[in-house]
Amino acid sequence: MVDERVYSWLMDNADAPVRYRTARELLRDEKAAKALETELFDNREVRKWLKNLKPEDPPQHRSMEHGCFDFCLENALPKLVQLGLHSGISQMRDAVGLYFGRLEDAYKRSDYPDRYTLRLTENMLAFAGFTDDVVIGMTLDGIGRVHDFTSRGIYDFYLSAEERDTLKKVPAVWKDAAGFIKPEIFNNYSFSYPLIYDIVGMPAMYALKDPAVDSKINGIIEYISTDEFHNNVYDGYGILVEGNGKYHGMGWDPKYPGWSDPADYIERGGARVGSGVPKLLFFAQNIVKYPAARKTKWFNELFDYLEKYKTDNGTYLFPKKWIDESQGYAVQGHHLSFGENRRKKDWLEIESTFYMQTLFKYLN
């Protein structure tokens, strides 16, 4: 799959983020990557997203971890990783100080809660390459909790229609919704069901080369890589019934977009807004890191479909709408671009080609 001519073309034509990532991740040339750092830090997109990542004092929002805003951790950090930044860059470590503090405060407790924001934070920091004890410790603990849940083979999450009809004070927005989660699921397991954030963060733990950890990760991926999971789990998992008239959305599920037919999903543009092709491409970038996922029918069909966009020169050219860049959740594909100047004639070809290289490097 490696085509040195494509690497050379990217190094000759791309802006600093893609050239830096090509040097560091594809060519594995640390000297060339180091020489590009000054240009990388001068890049307008990098400067913008570093500013977004570091919270103000006081922080701009009650939950700096979770939300659709550009300054939320779950959007700013993966965007910077997309632009080439990582834990070895001092500006990144400085910018995430608030989040490290929150993790450390929780980790000091022997009974720290399995909160949504903690799961999000530990996985995002692992994704960026941070290997501090608190990140590894909490990510491994999260993997253990999720594996304990998935190993039970639970796919029956929801209240029956009759039970649903007994609910009181259901908000108007969910009045006709299905997918109300059984209270005992959350009471017994909290947030231990797999989330998209786990898919993003867990691959970092392969670096530990611990067979027991690898086995748990692989078991989680096998659990979600089934018809049972996709046929039974509602988008976003559904709605938590807390009681006393309180209801909550349960967060991002890790279903494969277009599980039954990724080509058809792409041709239709995705199921709906926020669930389209950019989300699929973000998911593919992360799920490709798992050996079990690469063996799925979904991945092989997706890969065959994407090959349609290969040019005679060995580069790739996707439809423009695929490389989305808009405010929203990174895990939904809203910040998929690699920072190319969109006034350049070949920006789309560069980003499409580099995207494919992010898949190829796990296939060789």
SS3 category, 316: strand
> Using CA atoms, how far apart are residues 315 and 348, in angstroms rounded to an integer?
11
**Digit-coded pLDDT (tens) for 181-195:** 998 888 898 889 999
- Residue 203 sits at φ, ψ, to 5 deg, of -60, -25
Q: Identify the residue whose tokens are 């490290």.
A: 100
Residue 274 has pLDDT above 80, yes or no: no
Mean pLDDT of 297-316: 97
Residues 6+ apart with CB under 8 A from 78: 124, 127, 200, 330, 331, 335
> Using CA atoms, how far apart are residues 284 and 169, in angstroms rounded to an integer?
39
Residue 97 has pLDDT above 60, yes or no: yes
- Counting residues of the chain whose pLDDT is more than 70, the rounded percentage is 96
Q: Identify the residue whose tokens are 């967060």.
A: 251
Q: Residue 275's pLDDT is what?
A: 56
**Digit-coded pLDDT (tens) for 168-178:** 899 998 888 88
| Upstream peptide bond of 58 is cis (omega within 30 degrees of 0) | yes
Q: Identify the residue whose tokens are 């808009």.
A: 326
Residues 6+ apart with CB under 8 A from 57: none
Closest by CA to 300, choosing from 286, 311, 288, is 288
Domain positions in the chain: 130-255
Q: Residue 119's pLDDT is what?
A: 93
Residue 1 has pLDDT above 70, yes or no: no
Residue 114 has pLDDT above 80, yes or no: no
SS3 category, 188: helix
> Using CA atoms, how far apart are residues 356 and 282, in angstroms rounded to an integer?
12
Q: Residue 2's pLDDT is what?
A: 67
- Residue 284 sits at φ, ψ, to 5 deg, of -60, -40
**Digit-coded pLDDT (tens) for 343-361:** 999 999 999 999 999 999 9
Mean pLDDT of 137-149: 96
Residues 6+ apart with CB under 8 A from 339: 15, 16, 17, 18, 43, 45, 46, 82, 83
For 319: left if phi > 0, alpha if psi spans -120 to 50, otherwise beta; the answer is beta
**Digit-coded pLDDT (tens) for 209-243:** 999 999 999 999 999 999 999 999 998 899 988 77
β-strand pairing of 239-243 with 246-249? antiparallel
Ranges of beta strands (E only) in the chain are: 180-181, 239-243, 246-249
Residue 250 has pLDDT above 70, yes or no: yes
The length of the chain in residues reads 364
**Digit-coded pLDDT (tens) for 72-92:** 999 999 999 999 999 999 999
Closest by CA to 76, choosing from 98, 61, 54, 56, is 54
Q: Residue 243's pLDDT is what?
A: 73
